[in-house]
Chains A and B, each alone.
Chain A
């Protein structure tokens, strides 16, 4: 169990997360949804340890989470432009013995001898995902993984996430594109008003759609009809 107790984080004295109390099943796929600015990325940054919370604890099976056990796949990463993809991958230790660089590069359609400066945003994202799959991590955090990926890569990534989960990994995904989450996640958690307002099981996903996005849709329609 990944237990989060009394977690709070403020940025410039403005609370972003407040009194977050939640437990996540390990070996499950967890979706995190919420509108822009709801604190999804901040939550992930705290979870990954990049920023220290003002209060609260995060414990994985009653122990502190080690950074080396976390794979963080964020929306944008810096790449040295004058490295080839293969040189980039060589930096990461191969602790996942099943990892086959050539096969995966073929599936993702990545030319490994090419300089990264010639890669598109989607290709860079796939390369970053490969670098994390090369290592045997316990916790995978995907921040907006489906953005910028073509349909084939999107499907491949969904299979990869399922496969990782079958191997016992715990996975967190935040995504604006909510449809893939319905097919993947064991639970989806709604981040609202600086804490997790509610968690939904697969049979409640329709309810989630109505509750989270229905309210937003109505507000948006009203605002737009008055503004345009």
Chain B
């Protein structure tokens, strides 16, 4: 019954060590600040947390393995989620949103049972025409088309309001970031015929262009209706670009040609937290610079360094 927790323990020990406790403390503090916020954003924060857990569950690649090889697999996943939720939920018991503790735990408890799989997969050939050879986006958009449309429309409709469109936009961008979780085969990687540096630049360039197309109209409308927020909107966009760049760098830093999914969830969570706590911004920059250097070094095993 504890196999999954043991694996998580070894992963956290290997990847974070003592930093894990620092992050847990930070997460708890932020959670307290958010749920205790005067502007009553507790329910939205709870919604985002549940969504992030759902998104993680939907995209995790080890479900089949766990179900096949672990005893009482679903219970193990339930326990894992409940434990990882505790740093976020526990301090909200001491705020006006104390009931969010139960809301969070009940909703997250339901996630492993919530399994919507469409019987039909549509090709939507316009996706291929629009993204040309960008296999990461073709595959990702096809997998998440409905979520992306809903989140984009939500952000667009809410764009004159404060905060709400940014939440929807952040979730939209989060879906885009999840596209980079799968490792393409080495043959696909080599098909680009880029050097490691060029590949990184080209992927970032292509990703940023798509983010501009989606984020910019919403942020522009939001800034027109809320002129006091234009600086924050700029920061929001720049930080999302930083997360995108880091997601790409983290993926290729740990890329191995026979491993189908990259393992960078923990660093990514720290990066995402930086959006809400500006103090983490320098840490996010450090993570990016480190990961980019690591990615270029790692990619030199798979790509020619000179053309």
- By secondary structure, the A interface counts as loop
Residue B270 is within 8 A (CB to CB) of chain A in the complex: no
In chain B, positions 271-307 with a C-beta closer than 8 Å to chain A are: 301-304
Most B CB within 10 A of own CB, among A51, A77, A82, A132: A82
Given contacts A82-B121, A92-B191, A93-B193, contact A72 B186 (CB under 8 A): yes
Contact code string A56-93 (vs B, CB < 8 Å = 1, else 0): 00000000001110001010111111111001101111
Given contacts A50-B302, A67-B303, A68-B304, contact A79 B187 (CB under 8 A): no
Does the CB pair A131–B135 fall under 8 Å? no
Given contacts A50-B302, A87-B128, contact A77 B187 (CB under 8 A): yes
Does the CB pair A91–B185 fall under 8 Å? no
Given contacts A51-B301, A78-B260, contact A132 B139 (CB under 8 A): no
Does the CB pair A82–B142 fall under 8 Å? yes
For residue A79, which residues in chain B have a CB less than 8 angstroms away from its CB? 185
Contact of A131 among B187, B260, B303 (CB under 8 A): B187
Residue B123 is within 8 A (CB to CB) of chain A in the complex: yes
Does the CB pair B193–A68 fall under 8 Å? yes
Q: How far is the CB of A112 from chain B (nearest CB, A)?
A: 12
In chain B, positions 168-202 with a C-beta closer than 8 Å to chain A are: 182-188, 190-191, 193
Residue B258 is within 8 A (CB to CB) of chain A in the complex: yes
Contact code string B130-146 (vs A, CB < 8 Å = 1, else 0): 00010100110011000
Chain B residues engaging chain A, CB cutoff 8 angstroms: 121, 123, 128, 133, 135, 138-139, 142-143, 182-188, 190-191, 193, 257-258, 260, 301-304
Chain A residues engaging chain B, CB cutoff 8 angstroms: 49-52, 66-68, 72, 74, 76-84, 87-88, 90-93, 113, 115, 117, 128, 131-132, 135
